[in-house]
Chains A and B, each alone.
Chain A
Amino acid sequence: MLADLVQNTLDGLAAGSAYALLAVGFTLIFGVLRRVNLCYGPAIMLGCYAATFVHLSFGAGLLVLALVCVLASVLAGGYVERLCFAPHRKGSGIAAMVASFALWMQLEEVAILALPKHLYPFPALYDGKPIDLAGFTIRVEALVMLGAASVVCAALWWVLYRTRFGIAARAVIDSPLAAELSGISVPRVSMGVFALASAIGGLAGFLVSASFEQVTPMLGMWSTFKGLLAMMLGGLGSLPGAVAGALVLGLVEAHSQWFLGPQLRDLLAFLMLFMLLAIGPRWMTTR
């Protein structure tokens, strides 16, 4: 029983760290656009499909695939930003949302056209055996995920708090008008943040695909939902909150899956989100 609890906790943290990357990307995009980009996941999915394509055609290794994943996600993300968000920067949020849904279908179609089977194998993050430590088995993939997420979060902190671009990005997130008056080009910095968020998402997609050892078109919706849930659980718009929300989501899922099974797990996650929004504390829903 105890062993199971520890095992579930570790699995939950590993899943949570992938969610954390997705949620951080989501939060950055929300910060600069004040819009939820529902096409975030599908862009990541397309990145993973590009990597799969490269893998199937040239048999490229993991590092190359990670790079392809990140680059293709950035490209797809840029396509979404140009078509859905740049034209509606000051206008209707609803129009931007509908447009992003339309692109969602488009990106899924591109993936299916390129690789028409429902499921493709993805090279595993780690082939070896799990480590045996004091009676607990620890999956190495989980450790890699945790490590990668920590490194990315630290790097992101450095970019945001130690570089000129970081100052501009935080200024745009804080007050676009004041940023413009300070000489910061808001559209350009927004695009930069969008690209950064897409790159983080692409890396998350790579880690998830490599640890599930497969890609399907469902990865798009999956990424959007998990990232969105984690971001909302952490209180919209806060980066540390997004990380905390992601870890909570991972832990709750891992434990509820153990007790209730995988189908009720997802139901529980959505119920939790709805309840939080509908009857939760006020601070979660302001902004």
Chain B
Amino acid sequence: MDFYFGLAQLIGVHTLLGLSAYVVLLTGQVSLAQAGFFAIGAYVAAMLTVLAGWHLVPALGAAALTGATTACAVGFPALRVKGLMLVIATLAFGEGVRLFFFNFDYQIARGDVKVGPLGGEGFRQIRFFPENGWTTLEVMLFIWIFVLLVMALLWWLDRSRYGAVLRAVGEDELAAQSAGINLTAVKVSAITLGGAIAALGGGLYAHYATHIEHLSFGILLATFAIAYPIVGGLASVFGTLAAVLFVQGFLVEGLRDLGDWRNLLFGALIVLAMNLRPRGFLDAGNLRAIKRLFWGGGRGAP
């Protein structure tokens, strides 16, 4: 059973990561910086619990705050550029963060062992959960509380005026601007929110993994982050969840029996998905169809 709890932990954390990219993507911005914010959250939360002896919950709050602050600080200059340039600027930022942690040493002695991040060796012994005797099930539930909270928050935001503004910017910047929307403010707020969510996910990841190192936060993770909302579609937060389940649940774990051939099939399936549904699994059209299925009624039928 622990295996499935562990898988659920991973899916929960990746859902947070995907949602952080989803928020930014709503405004039409492709950010490859999410893995960087995720890494910042992981290191900050872990340093607070391990080195400063904080409880995990305030440590996660501090991590999310750091992620948000960094994202806001990065967002202002980075959002000067658009499209492809933004992809590359955020990629450069993300790799910069990774290389920063690759060079980052800050160890203190605790008893007879030294703890803390140690450059390329990574940060070992993040033992908040085992020290406090949490079971895998409890850890999984703890993670999913955050996932559900964030999903509920975004679901609610999507229905608010703010969500409409985000989508308006994503659909047509010029039109949004002429409707009196401050583009910079909207984009920076979206990337700030995304930074907070990614850092929260990173903080949770650091504690269930108990060992983090810079290699985990590379371009691959950044791609996963942006791939979830793209594969899942931007019509709803559930698209991202569906994509994480599809990728981590089915493609990564379900195909594990295939051994080495898994990644070959994995690549082929993603390419196939993108060629068949370039707008993702859940677009506005089939979302309406699903709603009709569940709620009956002809809501949104032409």
> Nearest chain-A residue to B96 (Cβ)?
A270
Q: Is A131's CB within 8 Å of the partner chain B?
A: no
Q: Which among A92, A263, A270, A279 is the interface contact of B92 at CB below 8 angstroms?
A: A270
- Given A270-B99, A271-B96, are A98 and B231 neighbors across the interface (CB < 8 Å)? yes
Q: How many A-B residue pairs have CB under 8 A?
A: 123
Q: Inside 8 A of A15's CB, which chain B residues have their CB?
A: none
State how many angstroms separate the Cβ of A284 from the closest Cβ of chain B: 9
**One of B202-210, B262-270, B287-295 contacting the partner:** B262-270
Q: How far is the CA of A96 from the CA of B99 in the complex (A)?
A: 27
State how many angstroms separate the Cβ of B89 from the closest Cβ of chain A: 4
Q: Is B211's CB within 8 Å of the partner chain A?
A: no
- Given A98-B223, A267-B99, are A106 and B264 neighbors across the interface (CB < 8 Å)? yes
Q: How far is the CA of A101 from the CA of B225 in the complex (A)?
A: 12
Q: Is B44's CB within 8 Å of the partner chain A?
A: no
Q: Is B254's CB within 8 Å of the partner chain A?
A: no
Max chain A CB contacts within 10 Å: which of B77, B91, B218? B91
State how many angstroms separate the Cβ of B66 from the closest Cβ of chain A: 19
Do residues A99 and B96 form an inter-chain contact, with CB atoms below 8 A?
no
Q: Is A147's CB within 8 Å of the partner chain B?
A: no
Max chain B CB contacts within 10 Å: which of A96, A97, A232, A271? A97
Q: How far is the CA of A270 from the CA of B119 in the complex (A)?
A: 18
Max chain B CB contacts within 10 Å: which of A102, A105, A273, A279? A102
Q: How far is the CA of A169 from the CA of B65 in the complex (A)?
A: 50
> Nearest chain-B residue to A275 (Cβ)?
B77
**One of A56-64, A80-88, A159-167, A178-186 contacting the partner:** A80-88
Q: How far is the CA of A195 from the CA of B262 in the complex (A)?
A: 28
Interface size, chain A (Cβ < 8 Å): 43
Do residues B263 and A263 form an inter-chain contact, with CB atoms below 8 A?
no
Q: Inside 8 A of B275's CB, which chain A residues have their CB?
A: 83, 87-88, 95, 99
State how many angstroms separate the Cβ of A57 from the closest Cβ of chain B: 20
Q: Inside 8 A of B100's CB, which chain A residues have their CB?
A: 267
Q: How far is the CA of A278 from the CA of B76 in the complex (A)?
A: 9
Do residues A279 and B267 form an inter-chain contact, with CB atoms below 8 A?
no
Q: Inside 8 A of A35's CB, which chain B residues have their CB?
A: 84
Q: Is B131's CB within 8 Å of the partner chain A?
A: no
Q: How far is the CA of A109 from the CA of B220 in the complex (A)?
A: 14
Closest 8 CB pairs of A and B: A106-B267, A102-B270, A278-B77, A109-B263, A277-B89, A95-B278, A267-B99, A274-B92
- Interface residues, chain B, CB within 8 Å of chain A? 30, 77-78, 80-81, 83-85, 87-89, 91-93, 95-96, 99-100, 102-103, 119, 218-220, 223, 226-227, 230-231, 260-264, 266-271, 274-275, 278-279
Residue pairs across A and B with Cβ atoms less than 8 A apart, 16 shown, are A35-B84, A93-B83, A95-B230, A95-B279, A97-B30, A98-B230, A99-B274, A102-B271, A106-B263, A267-B100, A270-B95, A270-B96, A271-B96, A277-B81, A277-B85, A278-B89
A274-B92, A277-B85 known; 4 other A-B pairs, CB under 8 Å? A83-B271, A105-B220, A106-B263, A266-B95
